[in-house]
Structures are given as C-alpha cells and as structure tokens.
Amino acid sequence: MPSCTAITLATLKIGSTAALGILTGVHLTFSLSTVQAILNLPSAADARIAFTTTLTTHTNLLTRPLTLIPTLVLTATYLLSPSRLRHPYLLMTATLPGLSLLYDRGVLAPVERAISKRSSGVGVVGEEGEEVEELDVNGEVVRGGLEQYRKENLVKAGIVGMAFLVGIVGNWGDGWAWYRL
C-alpha cells in the first residue's frame, strides 16, 4: 500500500500535468482562433488595440501562472521524492515550460512590442468639436506582426505540448511503479 507521501506526490504530478495540458490548449486557442478573429477586425487600429488587450489578459492572467506553477511543483516533487520514485521525466517536464518562458522573452516579446507600439497621434477635430487623437497605424505592419506572432506562439504551444506529453508518459510509468511497491 502506498504511503501518504507517495499519494501526495502522485497528486502533485498529475495536477501539474493537467495544468500543462490546459496551458497547451490556451496557447493553441489563442494562436488559431483569437489571432484569426483579431485579423478579421475592420481596421488596423482596432486590431492593435484588441491584440494588446487580449495579450495582456492572456499573458498575465492565464499563461504565466499555468507555466510557473507546474514548473515549480514538478521541481519540488522531484526533490522531495524518494530515490525509487525520482524519475528524470520530472525534471524534463519541469524544464520545458521554463524554456517556453525564455522563448517568450527572446522571440515573442519583440513581436508583441512591434504590434503594440503606438505610433505618433495626429490631432483631428471630432464630431462635437473636441480634439481627438487619431493613431497612425500601418495595417500591413499589424497584419504581418499578428501572423508572425501566431506562428511563434504555435512553436511555444509545441514546447509546452511536449512537456504535457512527457508528463503523461511519465505519470503512466509511475502508475506501473505503484504495482511494484
């Protein structure tokens, strides 16, 4: 019969793997559905604003916690596991989401900045006589940036998806270890 510690560690492993699966789905949905919907907006200014707003929500509220929590939990699980349950897949599964964060900083961040960069505004008189700032946004730059972002985010989804698959295979292997205890 497995000990309470073994059950706790198994629960943490399975929960972290599930979080990686959710993270993979979030990245795929953002790349395949959300970016396409933003590309279909009528103006480049609307697309840039929608991208910036969605990206802030996507990055800050969803992906960072879903990346950091499994990474930290799987690393702690590896360190706290007894030697017979300390498998290298835990470190690999914990490392891949960390690599996706580095990929985010190195490759996706410049693309995000290029899309979100505000151009200089031109003062225009509005309907009721007040001056309204109209942004000069280049539609080709926004479209090209969004298409590049979609491709790069799919690569990031692939990295996280690989961690998810390694976690599934590792947890399945751990399940066989339970029968030997």
Model confidence, pTM? 0.83
SS3 of 139-179: the string is HHHHHHHHHHHHHHHHHHHHHHHHHHHHHHHHHHHHHHHHH
CA 4 centroid distance within chain:
33
HSE on the CB side for 3, CA within 13 Å?
A: 6
Q: What local confidence, expressed as pLDDT, does residue 102 receive?
A: 93
For residue range 147-177, list pLDDT tens digits in order: 999 999 999 999 999 999 999 999 888 776 5
In the prediction, which pLDDT does 73 show? 96
Q: Is the pLDDT of residue 179 over 70?
A: no
- Measure the CA–CA gap between 173 and 7, rounded to whole angstroms: 15
Instruction: Write out pLDDT tens, residues 15-64.
Output: 999 999 999 999 999 999 999 999 999 999 999 999 989 887 877 788 99
Amino acid 125: pLDDT: 45
Which is nearest to 40 in space by CA: 156, 142, 136?
142
Q: Return the pLDDT at 177.
A: 58
- What is the model's pLDDT at position 34? 92
> Residue 123 — pLDDT band, cuts 50, 70, 90?
very low
Q: Could you read off the pLDDT of 72-90 as tens digits, one per residue?
A: 999 999 999 888 778 899 9
